[in-house]
Amino acid sequence: MSKIALVTGASAGIGEATARELLAAGYTVFAGARRLERMAGLAALGATLIKLDLTDDASIVASVAAIKAGAGRLDVLVNNAGYGSYGALEDVPLAEARRQFEVNVVGLARLTQLVLPMMRAQRSGKIVNITSIGGKIWEPLGSWYHATKFAVEGLSDCLRVEVRRLGIDVILVEPGAIRTEWAGIAREGLLHVSGNGAYAAQAERYARLLDQADTSKLASPPEVVARTILRAVSARRPKTRYATSGGAHLILFLKKILPDRIFDRLIWSVSQGFS
């Protein structure tokens, strides 16, 4: 019997690559995203598409109900959906800050709440939360985004201990720089919020860095992360954390060995193009 997986944010990037990787490995995949039309390729490969909006509780409840009705169980949940909201803390409207948390943290937690009873009944399951090295490091103009990733790291650590005797594994995957549409969305939001005013020069320099994200030698294709996720969910005893691709190991090593003030200087220099 094939294992059942739900992948959120499956319309592009890491989510789409993960759904493809799991399908190729023989999983039955439910692919969730707001943009159903963007997942036609996954449907052609055999995925079941689910319209899922993490800011809409009714959508989350309906998605889990559809999996219960269609498969009766869930072996793997990949909480991948999310976006990066950038801008100076002084500039970002609190409505946008709340939306960032709603998508990246609250929606993830709500979906996890609803699938846990199935996994408890099975006495098995793997929950994969995609954070980022941004859940371990920081950068200027990214306070709300990084706050959500730090939050998911803490949420995942607590949940892992809560469910450890129930046959459920909680796994964190922490990518570095990845070539997806994420950088373009972050750049657009950054310039909209902080492209004028006191932080404009800083925002423009960082926007140029985001422009280079897809061509950077450091950036990896999303398939690298997808393969890491497959390796994690296939392991009998998976690691609690998988740093992967995009210079993740190097950056986290520097974070570990450098004092905060020195790391601050490094991050500032990189974010401003070493100006």
CA distance 61 to 235: 29
Q: Which residue has the tokens 């006191």?
A: 198
User: CB burial class (10 A; 0-12, 13-18, 19+) of residue 123?
Assistant: exposed
Residue pair 3/72 in contact (Cβ under 8 Å)? The answer is no
Task: Tell me the C-alpha to C-alpha distance, in Å, between residue 60 and each of 65, 119, 135, 156.
Answer: 9, 17, 24, 19
pLDDT at 274 over 60: no
pLDDT at 214 over 80: no
Q: Which of 67-81, 160-174, 181-195 comes out lowest in average pLDDT?
A: 181-195
CA distance 141 to 262: 18
Instruction: Label residue 183 by pLDDT band (50, 70, 90).
Output: confident
DSSP secondary structure code for residue 28 in this structure: E
Task: Tell me the C-alpha to C-alpha distance, in Å, between residue 165 and each of 38, 77, 125, 138, 160.
Answer: 38, 18, 12, 34, 9
Given CA atoms 108, 109, 114, 115 in this order, what sign does their dihedral have? positive
What pLDDT digit, counting tens, does each position of 53-80 carry? 999 999 999 999 999 999 999 999 999 9
Stated as kind and residue range, the H or E segment containing 159 is helix 143-162
Task: Tell me the domain boundaries of the chain.
Answer: 4-271
What pLDDT digit, counting tens, does each position of 98-110 carry? 999 999 999 999 9
Amino acid at 11: S
User: Which pLDDT score, from 0 to 100, does residue 150 have?
Assistant: 98
The residues that are catalytic are 145
Angle between helix 13-24 and 222-234 (nearest 10):
50
Query: In whole numbers, what is the pLDDT of the chain averaged over residues?
Result: 94
The two three-digit tokens of residue 266, written as one number: 């490094």
CA distance 7 to 216: 27
Q: Which tops the pLDDT comparison, 217 or 149?
A: 149
CATH number of 4-271: 3.40.50.720
User: Which pLDDT score, from 0 to 100, does residue 70 have?
Assistant: 94
DSSP secondary structure code for residue 47 in this structure: P
* pTM for the predicted model, two decimal places: 0.93
Exposure on the CB side of residue 122, measured as CA atoms within 13 A: 20
The average pLDDT across 34-60 equals 97
User: Which pLDDT score, from 0 to 100, does residue 211 have?
Assistant: 82
The two three-digit tokens of residue 179, written as one number: 């070539």
